[in-house]
Amino acid sequence: MAAISREILKRRGILPSPVMATIGTRSMASWFGHVEPAAKDPILGVTEAFLADPSPDKVNVGVGAYRDDNGKPVVLECVREAERRIAGNLNMEYLPMGGSIKMIEESLKLAYGEDSELIKEKRIAAVQALSGTGACRLFADFQKRFLPDTQIYIPIPTWANHHNIWRDACVPQRTFRYYHPETKGLDFASMMDDIKNAPNGSFFLLHACAHNPTGVDPSEEQWREISYQFKVKNHFPFFDMAYQGFASGDPNRDAKAIRIFLEDGHLIGCAQSYAKNMGLYGQRVGCLSILCEDELQAVAVKSQLQQLARPMYSNPPVHGALVVSIILGDPELKSLWLKEVKGMADRIIGMRKALRENLEKLGSPLSWEHITNQIGMFCYSGMTPEQVDRLTDEFHIYMTRNGRISMAGVTTGNVGYLANAIHEVTKSS
């Protein structure tokens, strides 16, 4: 009886009220009997599988987390120094609902430009967010609450979690074309068509730089054309900027797409994350900003963002915000940070060259030019899910099934092994 009603309810998509189940002589309510295990996360699930593998040869190029050339996680020197300054000196009281004012100020300078008039005019509503994910989610919730009839256009492909974020915020999703599998580059013409064909006033999710997973970004000229077309269509651009500094090694240059849109007078939204560029992954520190028409509007929007945060997590965590504001607020620490970001970006660029060279030396019949053409943390290799499965099963190499290689996990020590394995699974394709 319990099994039948559970089945029916499941088919109708209704959650069952407690179902009576009999265990031995006891009768008890089964509150959670209908809960099926969730599908594994396509990115974080890879780390779980990697950790469970006892092989000494194993390599993790799944999650986008930077490693040094010994394959070890990195804490930046500027972060260590900021932590020394925090320890024993600063209190850990609640931050305001919108987070650290200082951290927000510094974040806006990074995204909108050191001397931005928009900052001076106080036109930007901004709150500290739970890293990039939290910033996207807060924006999606804001969109649902205040623009309930809008949809979000998401590039294909994109970071898998974008789909989850806007789904859970109950914002309908549409897609736009972005990547060309044959050229392994940007499908600019199709992207422009989709932008033109979307209803006027649509919301678009754009990766500000270092597109994940493809490593393919529009050129400056193409961004200008995109911005122009957004103007014509009155679309709203929401920039996810999770990799500022990781594309070129220079955070200012990596903000170019945003600056082009600002020059053209758009209102924009922007999610910033310090996970990658400051290595603050687990600290969950980021910023959501929305550029408004004037200060009055910005005050209202910020108050509503805070209102969204309050019942969810009340206020954001303090430690990462202190680290970020100390680093960005101190000219010496800031220049150390800039040097360290550049160092990370350069090591990745070096590994791109090494991986490509190794594959070419092995006599691979395929072209691997895209490894060095793509930028940011990832190489979208073009390998099929079956080839990736073989890499994992036969070589203990862990990566997402879409063929994405996190170049941040490639080292001088493992690049030869990785190239050899890739060659083995692709040479007959």
Interface residues with ligand KET (CB under 6 A) are 43, 63-64, 131-133, 159, 161, 207, 212, 240, 242, 273, 275, 281, 286
Residue 258 tokens read as 């945003």
Among 141, 187, 194, 240, the active-site one is 240
Query: By three-state DSSP, how is residue 52 classified?
Result: helix
User: Which is closer to ligand KET, CB of 30 or CB of 47?
Assistant: 47
User: Based on CB atoms, which residue is closest to ligand KET, 212 or 358?
Assistant: 212
Question: In DSSP terms, which residues pair with 179 in a beta bridge?
Answer: 186
Tell the smallest beta-carbon distance from residue 209 to ligand KET (Å): 10
DSSP label of 216: -
Question: How far is the C-alpha of 69 from the C-alpha of 378, rounded, in Å?
Answer: 16
240 has catalytic annotation: yes
**259 DSSP assignment:** H
Closest residue by Cα to residue 295 from 126, 109, 121, 128: 121
> What's the one-letter identity of residue 36?
E
The answer to whether 159 is a known catalytic residue is yes
* Closer residue to ligand KET, CB minimum distance, 261 or 423: 261
Give CA separation, 113 vs 75, 119, 128, 277, 337, in Å: 26, 9, 18, 17, 17
Interatomic CA distance for residues 351 and 22, integer angstroms: 59
| Minimum distance of ligand KET from residue 159's CB (angstroms) | 4
At closest approach, how far in Å is the CB of 233 from ligand KET? 24
Catalytic residue among 144, 159, 217, 302: 159
Rounded to whole angstroms, the Cα distance separating 255 from 260 reads 9
Least distance (Å) from ligand KET to the CB of residue 87? 24
Q: CB-wise, 63 or 82, nearer to ligand KET?
A: 63
CA end-to-end distance (rounded Å), the chain? 53
**Torsion from C-alpha of 312, 315, 316, 321, nearest 10 degrees:** 170
What does residue 82 show for φ and ψ, rounded to 5 degrees? -60, -40
Nearer to ligand KET (CB atom), residue 202 or residue 406? 406
Q: In the complex, what is the shortest distance from the CB of residue 207 to ligand KET, in angstroms, rounded to a whole number?
A: 6
Q: Closest approach of Cβ 157 to ligand KET, in Å?
A: 11
Beta bridge partners of 405: 379
Residue closer to ligand KET by CB (options 251, 286) is: 286
Catalytic residue among 144, 184, 256, 276: 276
Tell me which DSSP letter residue 349 carries: H
Q: Which residues are catalytic?
A: 159, 240, 276
